[in-house]
Amino acid sequence: MTTTVRVASLADASAIAAIFARVNPHECDHAAHEGRVREDIARPIARVTAAEDNAGDLVGALVAWHVVDEVTVVDVAVSPTRRREGHGRALVEELLVWSRAHEKRLVLLEVRASNTPARTLYAALGFTEVNVRRGYYADGEDAVEMHATLALLQASAH
């Protein structure tokens, strides 16, 4: 299964919002997700990417904000029925490539402590767990803060 990652457009907002709403139904409804996605697509400091499968179906998305030399992953989600196919990896790898090309120093994210598959993926891509934020999510679950220092990743790639 190949994944194509591309910059999202406003035409993708509803499909991306549907994925985020399925993955995080407790956070807000589809309309609220769509409004946030539309705002991020229009936001100069945001990078919103969409993952498509071989058939051209949108199966995942990533929202990141970039300020000066840092990038923060705001949200990343893959349709629950399409997980474990490499779409999430493709989204994060594309962000790392873009971040290096734009001379970013650090990529930051938070992930649910219980999300072992995501934590394992991020670690495999060079992220390090640096802190736990107790009770971070609305349901009281902890978040694990992770970061990837791009200069270190570049040096180890050589």
Please list the active-site residues.
Answer: 110, 122
CB 58 within 8 A of CB 50: yes
Structure token digits, residue 52: 């498509």
Q: How far apart are CA 45 and CA 65, in angstroms?
A: 5
CA angle (149, 48, 87) in 5-degree steps: 75
Phi and psi at 123, nearest 5°, equal -60, -40
